[in-house]
A = this chain, B = another copy of it.
């Protein structure tokens, strides 16, 4: 094992991570979390304040906003969060270009 091999490995790993992040950025779940945080900050609320309104804990709000990609919240959870920051949810379906 040379130092070159190690640095190659690191480089490869980092590339994978960045690719993964880019990929996740496109997912609806990722966009959703970004939106949730933006709406909360726009409303001037802390996670703890939202937690109080929804009768839960701030740790759970943090988890909702930062859930890793393997988790997927329930629609009702998103709706409740939205209500707490003064919004309601609409689900839109956008056609994908399957056949060229």
Binding site for B on A (CB under 8 A): 28-29, 31-32, 35, 39, 72-79, 82-83, 86-96, 98
Answer whether A32 and B75 are a contact pair too, CB < 8 Å, given A39-B93, A92-B92, A93-B39: yes
- The count of identical subunits is 2
Q: From A29, which residue of chain B is reached at the shortest CB distance?
A: B75
Q: Is A96 a contact partner of B91 (Cβ separation < 8 A)? A: no
Q: Is A90 a contact partner of B86 (Cβ separation < 8 A)? A: no
Q: Is A82 a contact partner of B93 (Cβ separation < 8 A)? A: yes
Q: Is B29 a contact partner of A76 (Cβ separation < 8 A)? A: yes
Q: From A74, which residue of chain B is reached at the shortest CB distance?
A: B72
Measured between beta carbons, the chain B residues less than 8 angstroms from A79 are 28-29, 72
